[in-house]
Amino acid sequence: MNNPLRWLALVALERPELPAFDQVAHYMKQHFADAPQLSAAGSTESLWTCTLGEYTAAVTLVAKPIPWSQLEGPCATAWYWPDACEALRDHAAHLLVTLVDEGGKAIEKSTRLTQLVTALVANSPARGVFWGPGRLVHPPQAFIDQALQLSADNLPLFLWIDFRVERTDNGAARLYTTGLEALGQNELEVAEFHGEPQQLLEYAYNVAHYLLDRRKVVNDGDTIGLADDLQAVAHRRPSMFDPKLEVIQLEFQTTGD
């Protein structure tokens, strides 16, 4: 679980502009009633640091674009944002947003970073967001909209986790995730699914939310109910892509199979 991009996000900007701390703090107070107060810790012309409850965060203005090599892959696979390449290719600068990993629960850290990034996006000329733990890009308004719905019962997993669905050579679908590891769970994989890709996406999303909500350790052979007549059987196996990485491979069965 050594992810160098954990608790880091980048906000692509139309022009180099560091949002004022007071504006960001005011937005946080207005829109995230459950969040601890944002308190200033220090600042220069190009950065400010703050505390957010027990966590320390830093926001740095970088007066040059995010390297395209870091964005090209996530933009190309952002099926939910067809214009990602066009929107992000020629941005002028970016904000580097980091949350110091001082222990604590992964979901809480992800939540606080999401809330801070949302406040920054709402108060800056943002072109898009790169979410480091899941290596995902998001359009500004969609990021804000999903983050504002965040609650313990409604985690914004599409902001945090890349649920990648692909077609296989035989016409079936397969799925794998990036981002669950940063949240304290094994990544999910489905090697072959004979059904609609959207249905596979919904099943994987529900399993991921269940694992994170329950903070459950899944053993090999455990089952997770998805509907009255459907369950997912979890198998702890090497990843399809990296034999050194253990993942949870899902097999879907109707009740009684």
Domain residue ranges of the chain, discontinuous segments joined by +: 8-154, 161-254
Angle formed by the axes of helices 106-122 and 21-31, to 10°?
Answer: 120
Q: Copy the structure tokens of residue 158.
A: 């599409």
Band of residue 103 on the pLDDT scale cut at 50, 70, 90: confident
172-221 per-position pLDDT tens digit: 999 999 999 999 999 999 999 988 999 999 999 999 998 998 777 788 99
For residues 124 and 163, give the distance between their C-alpha atoms in angstroms, rounded to a whole number. Answer: 28
pTM, to two decimals = 0.92
Instruction: Report the b/e string of 31-55 with b at 16+ CB within 10 A.
Output: ebeebeebeeeeeeeeebbbebeeb
- Is the confidence at residue 110, as pLDDT, over 50? yes
Closest CA to 79 of 126, 142, 137, 151: 137
